[in-house]
Structure 1
Amino acid sequence: MIYRLKLTDDYPDSYWFQFKKEEISIVDLMQCQEIHSKNPLIFTLNKKISEKRLLSYNIFSSDGPDFISPRLATLLENNEEFVKEVQLLDATVIINGQSHYGFKVFNPLHFLSCIDMDKSESRPLLSYLPDGPKSFTKMVFRQDITKDFWMARCEENTSCIVISDKLKQFCIENNIKDIVFE
């Protein structure tokens, strides 16, 4: 079984970070190619928030890519199988002017055809490209996926990252509670 990578529904709107688009863009991350950069990706948040509560999460949202906590990053970096499939890019998080290090951004290195297009509902993202990228109102995953993987980018919708049962189990075993397995 496969699942869409999604944050818990109780993730506060006030914890949405701004992604500083410099050397690497969100489009670069959708190519499933290794990225070589000397500089970390930068995420900022300038709001009055409980920094302690915010930093208790393991996965964070932004107006660019999602990113993960140093704790989850360390767990995944120590998993040799996982790091063969997913590049973890360094990220610096700046909260009210204070920098925090050790965060990472997922960069899955392969695509997986996983959406059942007959059961899903979509429309062309651009009306003049009817066979181009789709906007999904209902996404149903295929049940016949046999590929052994940890994490991949969905071939039919490149903004969607999917995870496997073994990554779900890894998260459960390591008490990662703020990822929803949908």
Structure 2
Amino acid sequence: MKILVPIDSYPERYWLSYDHKNSIDHLKFLECSPVSPNEGLTKLSFKRKVSLKDFRKFDYLFSDGPDVVSSRIADLISSSDFASNVQFVSCELAINGDVYLDYFVINYLVSEVAFDMDRSQYKPLIKSVPDGPKKFQYIVLKDRKPNSGIFRSAESNSHVVVSDEVAEFFKSNSVVGVEFVSEKDGI
């Protein structure tokens, strides 16, 4: 298993701004359940101008809401063995004032236990609820094959985890914007 993270060289200027006021509640994308098109639109933009040519080289994008993928990646995943693990939600991406419709919010539909809690370092997010949500300082994954190809970690739903096969799928298809790690430090 591997944790999906932004590449080290992911430009801060490519961090998308999610339109929280006029879009589907971003927390819906952490629930690991399908989002209905009737729930509304998803809109994202940049806070400042970017080079369209350079930006369009990225396939996997991060935001202050849900993650976004290019239509190329959506097509690749849709024809893969792990397509049932995700949903692609159409979005409007405003780049330098123009709206692009060839990007999708990626909604992860599966949650699975993935962290080695004995080797990971964490503390309760709320001291009075020690068995509640946790704040992780260091994450180590379990040494096992997951049931799903790509999923949210049950221990921390903000972390996306993939099987070794899916990590290789992303690498062999030259997906730009993400990399995969077995351990995560300095969270």
Q: Give the CA deviation at 1:23.
A: 4.6
1:16 Cα deviation (Å)?
Answer: 1.2
Query: Per-residue deviation at 1:10?
Result: 0.5
Deviations 1:2-42 (A, max 9, x none): 11111111011111111012452232111111111244411
Distance 1:46 1:119 in 2: 39
- Do the aligned partners of residues 115 and 127 (structure 1) sit closer, same or farther apart at CA in structure 2, a change above 3 Å counting? same
In 2: Cα distance, 1:13 partner to 1:163 partner? 24
The structural deviation recorded for 1:156 is 0.5
Please name the residue that 1:155 is paired with: 154
Per the alignment, residue 27 of structure 2 pairs with 27
Shift of 1:128: 2.7
Of 47-56 and 132-141, more deviation after overlay is shown by 47-56
Residue 159 of structure 1 deviates from its aligned partner by 0.8
Question: Which residue matches 1:78?
Answer: 79
Separation in 2, partners of 1:46, 1:95: 9
1:128 is aligned to 2:140: no
CA 1:153–1:107 in 2, change beyond 3 Å: closer, same or farther? same
Unaligned runs of 5+ residues in structure 2 are 182-187
Aligned to 2:180: 181
Corresponding pairs, count: 179
Instruction: Give the match for residue 114 of structure 1.
Output: 114
Q: Percent identity?
A: 28
**For residues 37 and 127 of structure 2, what CA distance do their matches in structure 1 show?**
35
Work out whether residues 50 and 96 of structure 2, in 8 Å CA contact, stay in contact via their aligned partners in 1.
no
2:43, 2:92 within 8 Å by CA — same for their partners in 1? yes
Q: C-alpha separation between the residues in 2 aligned to 1:70 and 1:85? A: 17
| RMSD over equivalenced CA pairs, Å | 1.5
8 Å CA contact 1:46, 1:95 repeated in 2: no
The amino acid that maps onto 2:17 is Q
Q: Distance in 1 between matches of 2:73 and 2:43?
A: 18
Contact 2:123 2:135 in 1 (8 A): yes
CA distance in 2, matches of 1:170, 1:117: 27
